[in-house]
Amino acid sequence: MNYKLDFTPVIDGLSDLLMGCLGTFVLALGGMALAIVIGIGGVILRDSRFAPARWLVKAFVELIRNTPFLVQIFFIYFALPLAGLRLDPTPTAIIALGINGGAYAIEIIRGGVQSISRGQIEAGLALGLHKAQVFRLIVLKPALRAIFPSLTSQFVLLTLTTSIASAISAYELTSVAQRIESDSFRSFEVYGTITLFYLVISWVMMRFFALISARYFSYPVK
Amino acid sequence: MGWNEFAFLLTGLKWTVALSAVGFVFGGMSGLGIALLRTSGIALLERVTSGYIALFQGTPLLMQLFVVYYGLALVGLKLDAWIAVAIGFTLHASAYLGEIWRGSIEAVPKGQTEAAKALSLGYASRMKDVILPQAIRISLPATIGFLVQLIKGTSLAAIVGFTELTRAGNIVSNQIFQPLLVFGIVGILYFLLCWPLSLYGSHLERRMAIASR
């Protein structure tokens, strides 16, 4: 082996790479926020009395879950301008991530809502709780608790998926790395380093979600 | 879009299927090994395999492909792009399937292991004849779910420069300047590949939920 590892380009580009991590966080948080909005809206439509709305949500979920994110982001990237929306790659990527994550969130949130039995709500009302209290304490909190683990892993997955947004040159860690790589040709060093960055990012997110879970959802049941 | 372009997409589809199949078969074989090591009861082996799984579950698939692709070239292995991405997907699949199957092995009731031991079955026979047949049944919905994820994941080989369905779509779209049409068709082709699998997976899941009620 006559190849010598050389991390100078990585070290020189460290501040750029850290900014890229920030970009990754922006994409991930934006995507998650949009995914939650789509998820909740989707669940309401999915269980509505209006049949076409139910079919539409079902079709949306199946379509998104059975096609690759890379194809989705390309499609959205080219479709938005036709719909009269001229956006930069970064907002486009957030929209694509939100739509993709939203389809998974619909299924997850729906499972949580269905886990609350009707009798619980009636019991709450019978105890004289206000409707808003019933929703907050008896529906929302236990439902969130039930879906929190799957929501967490879905969000970590979404964060890792942000790397694919480099395909439309959105501003995030992978695209910054690609620029450094094409300037220096130190492919292995650059990508090896940011792989570790991603490992740290997903670990931090998991710890963060675990803390929330311990803080809000650690009360005993039954 | 003419017939020629569509035929080119179908060639890409063929490579997508081939890549998924290779990744799934070889990933499955090594994944089984990982699942067995992960449940072996030997602390060191369990720690190493759990680290291996965490590494692959905590990093983007795209990075795994990049690192394998450039890493192999770096150690002097001059491999075809096809072989390099196939190795990447095999490693990726081995970690995910290893974790799925570890869960299924652990989900087989303890009494089964104890009964097999009481019948003085050795480790190999205990696994092959008692535990694994039951674990495979339990793991089937999740395994199919991962297969769908793997098929979708092969689209990332396009970024490394391997001409499968998505990259075929890129090429055609650059030729005929109708990206929406091309990626729409590419999406439909993926959908036709993945949806039946997803339906089968959720069918199995429902059936098992009824059986365990």
Average pLDDT taken over every residue of chain A: 91
| Domain span including residue A56 | 8-216
* Residue-wise pLDDT tens digits, B51-103: 999 999 999 999 999 999 989 888 877 788 889 999 999 999 999 999 999 99
A209 assigned to some structural domain: yes
* Confidence at residue A1, expressed as pLDDT on a 0 to 100 scale: 55
A222 assigned to some structural domain: no
Query: What's the average model confidence in pLDDT over A185-191?
Result: 91
* Residue-wise pLDDT tens digits, B146-173: 999 999 999 999 998 899 999 999 999 9
* Confidence at residue B213, expressed as pLDDT on a 0 to 100 scale: 66
Window 155-174 of A, Cβ < 8 Å to B = 156, 160-164, 166-167, 174
* Confidence at residue B2, expressed as pLDDT on a 0 to 100 scale: 86
Alpha-helical segments (H) within chain A: 8-12, 14-46, 51-65, 69-82, 89-114, 118-126, 131-133, 141-161, 173-184, 187-216
A221 assigned to some structural domain: no
Maximal CA-CA distance, chain A:
78
Tell me the CATH number at A204.
Answer: 1.10.3720.10
| Cα distances (Å, whole numbers) of residue B83 to A19, A113, B69, B86, B183 | 34, 46, 9, 5, 26
Instruction: Indicate yes or no: CB of B159 within 8 angstroms of CB of A70.
Output: yes
Q: Look at residue A83 and tell me whether its pLDDT is greater than 90.
A: no
pTM: 0.91
Residues of A in contact with B58 (CB under 8 A): 156, 160, 198-199, 202-203
Measured distance CA(A2)–CA(B74) in Å, rounded: 9
How many domains is chain A built from? 1
* Residue-wise pLDDT tens digits, A149-168: 999 999 999 999 999 999 99
User: Which domains, ranges and CATH numbers included, belong to chain B?
Assistant: 3-211 (1.10.3720.10)
Measured distance CA(B36)–CA(B24) in Å, rounded: 18
Quick one: how far is CA B127 from the chain centroid?
Answer: 23
* Confidence at residue B202, expressed as pLDDT on a 0 to 100 scale: 92
Going by pLDDT thresholds of 50, 70 and 90, the confidence category of residue B37 is very high
The phi, psi pair for A47, rounded to 5°, reads: -110, 20
* Confidence at residue A185, expressed as pLDDT on a 0 to 100 scale: 86
Measured distance CA(B18)–CA(A169) in Å, rounded: 29
A2 assigned to some structural domain: no
Query: What's the average model confidence in pLDDT over B117-124?
Result: 93
Of A3, A71, A163, the CB nearest to B60: A163
**Which of A150, A191, A203, A206 to probe by mutation at the B interface, max B CB count within 10 Å?**
A191
